Amino acid sequence: MKRVLVLYSPYTPGGRKPDIVVLQVARALARLGHIPVPFPVPLEIDALVAGIRKAGPDVIFNLCEEFRGDGKQEARVAAVLELLGIPFTGNGSLGLSLALDKALSKKLYEFHNIAYPEAAVFTSEKPDLVVGHLNFPLFVKPMRSDASLSIGDVSFVKNWDELRTRVRELLRKTRDAVLAEEYVPGREIYAAVLFDRVLPLLEVDFTGLPARKLHIMGRAAKFHRNSAAYRGTRVTAAKKISAGLRRKIEHTAREACRACQVRSYARVDIRVNEFDEPFVIEVNPNPYLEIRSEFARAARMHGLKYVPLVGRLLEEALKRSRTERVF
């Protein structure tokens, strides 16, 4: 029986209520015989450190995705846990940082021979200088995105004018660099990776979309329940995948995780073009763990139900703390 601090970010789209996943994980931990202690990440770092020390957990179940509402700080909260020396579930600060930066992770994919869409980064409005080698159409998005903010049909640009306009808009709207990436048409696959094993694949079914809508999982498709994009897309078990393609996707997902130094659990977003070539779009370390989330679904398809899944993540954190070397 362990005392498990369930660390979570208090910001949710609807207010400051904890996300439902916090309750689900806490219940699962209780069913496993542990003592869950839910703990929202405070706004001040001193309070975070003091609060964790006071709770005195054996281990932390890390569901934190942001600090002061900023998803780009997720890795820094993990870094605090590392400095505190308390075992915690999921990814370390390095993996969370590498995967967050979609430009840096492409450099790592290159080294690991994994296919990814070519891209250019803009920190200012000078596209002409850097995108000479890219082929339109491009897909324009924040470099360190947060819950698909600013991703939608407007992200798709067919020429220089549209590119300039969209880059300018994003630079103004977000406090982030902007990535213009070659658009990969085709299927979208989610590969959930649990301790180096790729779980059964999921696929986005876009067939419910109106004829001219772009086949993407943007902000609306993920969160705007009344939108055509939300109603027209659903995530299903991936069917009609040849053994060869499945192997390629699994290899890509595993290597992408390795490239980004991701451990424990992650979800890799992949697009597959018309020649059955998989491209990594992004690696999501510590993906959403809600019971109906893609990750939990993939685990179930593998025969791992929610409570044992939570248990396995906890066990791995404890085991890692006993055996991990710090280089």
Ligand X SMILES: Nc1ncnc2c1ncn2[C@@H]1O[C@H](COP(=O)(O)OP(=O)(O)O)[C@@H](O)[C@H]1O
Q: Is 52 helix (H, G, I), strand (E, B) or coil?
A: helix
Q: How many C-beta atoms lie closer than 10 Å to residue 281's C-beta?
A: 23
**Distance in Å from the first CA to the final CA of the chain:** 31
Out of 98, 108, 184, 268, the residue judged to bind ligand X by CB under 6 A: 184
Q: How many C-beta atoms lie closer than 10 Å to residue 316's C-beta?
A: 18
137 preceded by a cis bond (ω within 30 of 0): yes
Q: Is 177 helix (H, G, I), strand (E, B) or coil?
A: coil
Asked if 192 and 139 touch (Cβ cutoff 8 Å), the reply is no
Identity of the residue, 181 or 269, whose beta carbon is nearer to Mg ion in the bound complex: 269
Q: How many C-beta atoms lie closer than 10 Å to residue 277's C-beta?
A: 14
State the nearest-atom distance from the C-beta of 190 to Mg ion, in Å: 9
Q: Could you tell which of ligand X, Mg ion, none binds residue 117, using a CB distance below 5 to 8 A set by kind?
A: ligand X
308 preceded by a cis bond (ω within 30 of 0): no
Amino acid at 243: A
Identity of the residue, 269 or 290, whose beta carbon is nearer to ligand X in the bound complex: 269
> Among all residues, whose Cβ is closest to ligand X?
148
Place of tokens 């103004």: 172
Binding letters toward Mg ion, positions 268-297, x by CB under 5 A: -x----------------------------
Out of 101, 269, 290, 294, the residue judged to bind ligand X by CB under 6 A: 269
Identity of the residue, 2 or 141, whose beta carbon is nearer to ligand X in the bound complex: 141
Out of 11, 139, 295, 306, the residue judged to bind ligand X by CB under 6 A: 139
Question: Which one of 28-36, 54-62, 210-218, 250-258 is the stretch in contact with ligand X (CB under 6 A)?
Answer: 210-218
Q: Is 81 helix (H, G, I), strand (E, B) or coil?
A: helix
> To 10 degrees, the CA torsion angle through 142, 143, 144, 147?
40
User: Does 166 sit near ligand X (CB under 6 A)?
Assistant: no
State the nearest-atom distance from the C-beta of 30 to ligand X, in Å: 32
State the nearest-atom distance from the C-beta of 267 to Mg ion, in Å: 8
What is the binding site for ligand X (CB under 6 A)? 117, 139, 141, 145, 148, 151, 181, 183-184, 188, 216-218, 269, 271, 281-282
Interface residue list for Mg ion (CB under 5 A): 269
